Amino acid sequence: MKQVLVIDENQPFREYLKAKLTDNKVDVEVAMGSLDGMAKIRTHIPDLIILDYHLSRNGCFDVLQAKKTNPNTVNVPVIVMAQEIDQSKIIALTPYNLKKVFTKPVKIDALLSTLAEILQISFTIDESPGIVEVNVNENILFVEIAKGLNRDKLDLLRFKIMELIELCAIRVPRIIIMLSDMVLGYADAPNLTKLLEVVQASGARNRHIRVLTRDDFARKFVEGQHDYDGIEVVSNLQYAIDDLLMETGDPVDKKTDFIGGILSSSAAGPEGESMQLRFAAETRPKNLGPEAIKEFLRDLTIAAVDDDPSTLEIIKSTFKQAGTTIKCFTSGSDFLKTIHSAKYDLVFLDLLMSGVDGFAILDKMSGNNINIPVIVLSAITQRDMVLKVFNLGIKSYITKPFMPATIINKTLEILRPSL
């Protein structure tokens, strides 16, 4: 039986790979850090090591050096996972029998294809389109499904939901499933069943589950089966949010806080807006400690564009200890002069500035196909204004005033995805 060692600090990714490989009769060991990984390399001689490049304290190279100095493992092939990695760093990995580097979010079909080639086994891979996102706000889990119901993505969703429930200490799970602009039919029934089973496995009661969709088949499918009694199918997100917020005991006027998590929207329909949303948990990832956060942030170059000096100072001081490079601009025109020559990993952008404002900057970036992740900073919360921004393709929205921890969390959520 083939043996694989997975060393990664991202629990859902570890558990997903373990389940997928075990189903294909591969023996899998998992390790959540470099010390654990090095210990298991000594006690288990794997046929393949799957390694997270961003382990704490340069742990990736500690693991690789331990592998290289052990005559039993020196020739074991390695697959490395990384957020963003330049050519020089890839070259530094090659002496350790590197076979492939995957950047996150990982394309699952490409990963499984590589695993099949190295391990000489075959996988059943769902190559159908599908985007799955799950995040938390106000102790409500928002599961967004777009493009299609990909079974491999739904397998990963199971582990991600459980991680977030533990991370945010959610005692009574409440879940909104958002089927964004999807038209389903009878061929989708098995995968729709799988999706609902994954959500129910979280421990959420049916009466705490909402399905947001305009698709008639999905509505009839849910309403027509006894196993889903109590699950409500709705076409208006605001209704679903208000309804679950009242059940949590939070005042309904908190609903404006949710605006900060909207990612994008689609055209309004006759019953209101059908919106594609993603929400971000406001807590630091449990298995990412202070040193790992500092190490991850150290190599980033971030632009902060705001005509308020106090906002720029908060951003600068927040990232200072991590050694992040921060470029501050008090005018939009000055920032635009740099977008073709500078390489930014992230931009913090104020909406309302004199002269060239945030909307003009977003429009200019979109028109020039500049795909730098953007976090908008603004006191504006009006619905139509926010939707206008999201339609320009921003990644996240933070309402002023904000805490430094919020800035760090949002940065990690955008730049450190899992799959």
Token pair of 82 as six digits: 């990384």
166 and 105 belong to one structural domain: no
The highest-confidence range among 166-170, 223-227, 370-374, 379-383, by mean pLDDT, is: 223-227
Range scoring the smallest mean pLDDT among 141-145, 255-259, 277-281, 393-397 = 277-281
> Could you say which of 87, 119, 151 is where a domain stops?
119
Give the whole-angstrom CA distance, residue 406 versus residue 404. 5
- In this structure, the strands spanning 301-305 and 325-329 are parallel
Can you give the pLDDT at residue 140? 80
Select from 119, 144, 175 the last residue of a domain.
119
Q: Do 300 and 346 share a domain, yes or no?
A: yes
pLDDT at 106 over 80: no
Task: Say which range, 38-47, 269-278, 304-313, 334-343, has the weakest mean pLDDT.
Answer: 269-278
Question: How far apart, in whole angstroms, are the C-alpha atoms of residue 389 and residue 396?
Answer: 10
Would you say residue 354 lies in a domain? yes
**Residue 386 clears pLDDT 80, i.e. is over it:** no
Which of 86, 119, 152 is the endpoint of a domain?
119
Position 230 in a domain:
yes
Spatial distance between the Cα atoms of 389 and 395, rounded to a whole number of angstroms: 10
Q: What is the pTM of this model?
A: 0.60
Average pLDDT, stretch 263-279? 31
Q: Are residues 235 and 139 in the same domain?
A: yes
- Could you tell me if 232 and 201 lie in one domain? yes
Residue range 64-78: average pLDDT?
94
Is residue 76 one of the residues assigned to a domain? yes
Weakest mean pLDDT among 16-30, 286-300, 330-344: 286-300
Say whether both 197 and 259 belong to one domain. yes
Residues 144 and 233 in one domain: yes
* Position 279 in a domain: no
Is 180 found in the same domain as 158? yes
Q: DSSP E strands: which ranges in 159-294?
A: 174-180, 209-212, 232-234, 268-269, 272-273
Average pLDDT over residues 282-296: 58
Residue 44: how many CB atoms within 10 A of its CB? 14
Residue 260 lies in a domain: yes
Whether the pLDDT of residue 126 is over 70: the answer is yes
Shared domain for 326 and 301, answered yes or no, is yes
Indicate the pLDDT class of residue 144, thresholds 50, 70 and 90.
confident
Using the 8-state DSSP alphabet, how is residue 147 labeled? S
pLDDT-derived band at 391, boundaries 50, 70, 90: low
- What CATH number does the domain containing 206 carry? 3.30.750.24
Identify whether residues 137 and 170 lie together within a single domain: yes
Asked if residues 214 and 271 have their Cβ atoms less than 8 Å apart, the reply is yes
Residue 407 pLDDT > 90: no
Mean pLDDT lowest for which of 26-35, 130-139, 250-259, 367-376?
A: 250-259
Better-predicted residue by pLDDT, 348 or 284: 348
Q: pLDDT-based confidence at 206, cuts 50/70/90?
A: very high
How many domains does the chain divide into?
3
Residues 114 and 138 in one domain: no
Q: Which residue has the tokens 């997975």?
A: 6
Name the band, by pLDDT with cuts 50, 70 and 90, for residue 138.
low
User: What average pLDDT does range 43-49 have in this prediction?
Assistant: 92
- Whether 330 has a pLDDT exceeding 50, the answer reads yes
Do both 313 and 375 map to the same domain?
yes
- For tokens 């404002």, the residue is 357
Residue 112 shares a structural domain with residue 156:
no
Q: When comparing pLDDT for 161 and 327, which is higher?
A: 327
pLDDT band at 387 (very low <50, low <70, confident <90, very high): low
CA distance 26 to 147: 31
CATH (domain of 353): 3.40.50.2300
Residue 219 sits in which domain range? 131-273
